[in-house]
Amino acid sequence: MTRHREERGAAAVEAALVIPLLLLIVFGIIDFGRMLHAQITLTEAAREGARAVSLGLPPEPRVDAVTGGIGGGAVTVEADCTTGGAGDAVVTVDYRFSFVTPVGAIAGIFAGGGFGDDVDMRGRGVMPCRA
């Protein structure tokens, strides 16, 4: 019976070492998944915006419709189709991603940035101009 009492302290120490690492992995998975979703959404929004520009329409309504789940981003039309339909329509969408778990703060400390820095993300879409 005395052996079980000695082992209880060892289990508490092991749990104290493992639980923070486990939580860091789980939080990393959550934020990485959110960031990947935001990047895919930005790329799709930029592609839809470029498609609208290639058809002679303003890109903002399409970009806002696609980015509805993550919030709006800054839309920039790099090239449009006003030069007689030659070339490509190019649209970029910029977005500032915010972390919801402590992983962003920890990564900011180790990456040399500030405490809890956000990440600037960009999606770019290119479509050929329609004649």
The pLDDT tens digits for 79-115 are 888 765 568 899 999 999 888 888 877 776 666 655 5
Whether the predicted pLDDT of 31 surpasses 80: yes
CB count within 10 Å of CB 8 equals: 8
Amino acid at 97: F
> Which range marks the domain in which residue 9 is found?
2-128
Contacts of 109 (CB under 8 A, 6+ apart): 115
- What total of structural domains would you count in the chain? 1
- How confident is the model at residue 81, as a pLDDT? 81
- Paired sense of beta strands 74-79 and 119-128, if any: unpaired
Ramachandran quadrant class, 85 (left: phi over 0; alpha: psi -120 to 50; beta: rest): left
Whether the predicted pLDDT of 50 surpasses 70: yes
User: Tens digits of per-residue pLDDT, 57-85?
Assistant: 999 989 988 888 677 678 888 888 876 55
Entry pTM: 0.78
List 123's β-bridge partners, or say none: 93
- How confident is the model at residue 9, as a pLDDT? 80
